[in-house]
Amino acid sequence: MDDDLYRAIILEHSSNPPHRGRLEAPTHHDEGINPSCGDEVELFFRVEDNVIEEATFEGVGCSICLASASMLTRALRGKSVNEAKEFYQAFKSWITVREPKPSPVDLDELEALGGVRKYPVRLKCALLAWETFSTAMSKN
């Protein structure tokens, strides 16, 4: 039986993330830290002609944090920077409300993270990689 928080897809992503690693020459890169638990996520992007061609992550953290980072790297590949930013906004507003409305964009496997709403202190675990994406894009 699937656990309401620790869905199988979350545990799969966190134990075996497909895009884990560092990029040699990222065009965009940033590191996010959650000071209360010490989780760290580093994101690497190669953007060409305004399209995210590659996205990878490195980090240490709980399964929610790592799964979210892993899903991010899969979800944002091939998207334009603007589409990716819209996706980030859509995911963030979908996950941070108690009664979610259907998202304007297809969140696909990220919907598995919705269980975190019942555990408000864990919300920041699910958002760490996304906030890091946002700062990486605004920095470079």
Partner 1 sequence: MSKSPTPSLSFERFRHDFPFLENTIFLDSAATSQMPLPVCRAMSEHYQLGASNVHRGVYAWSERATDRFEQTRAKVAAFIKAQSERECLFTSGTTDAINLLATSWGESNIKAGDAIVVSLMEHHSNMLPWTQLAERQGAEVLWWGLTPEGELDLEQLPRLLGRRPKLLALTWVSNVLGTINPLERIVPAFKEQGTVIAIDGAQGVPHLACDVGALGVDFLSFSAHKMCGPTGIGVLWGKQEHLEAMPPYRFGGSMILSVRPETQAPQGLRVRWAELPHKFEGGTPNISGVHGLGAAIDYLQSIGMENIRAHEIELNRYAHERLSEIEGLTLFGPSQPERRSGVLSFDLKGIHPHDLATLLGREGVCVRAGHHCCQPLMRHWRRQGTTRASFYLYTTPGDIDALASALEKAASVFEGFC
Residues in touch with partner 1 (CB under 8 A):
3, 5-6, 11-12, 14-15, 36-39, 60-64, 119, 122, 125
- As measured in angstroms, the least distance from the Cβ of 24 to partner 1 is 25
Torsion angle of alpha carbons 135, 63, 114, 1, nearest 10°?
160
The three-class DSSP label of residue 61 is coil
- As measured in angstroms, the least distance from the Cβ of 112 to partner 1 is 14
Q: Rank residues 11 and 81 by Cβ distance to partner 1 and give the closer one.
A: 11
What is the 8-class DSSP label of residue 114? Answer: G
Q: Rank residues 37 and 81 by Cβ distance to partner 1 and give the closer one.
A: 37
Cα-flanking dihedrals φ and ψ of residue 135, to 5°? -70, -35
Q: Rank residues 23 and 67 by Cβ distance to partner 1 and give the closer one.
A: 67
Q: Rank residues 12 and 83 by Cβ distance to partner 1 and give the closer one.
A: 12
- As measured in angstroms, the least distance from the Cβ of 18 to partner 1 is 15
The three-class DSSP label of residue 106 is coil
Q: Between vectors from CA 124 to CA 121 and to CA 127, what angle results, nearest 5°?
A: 150
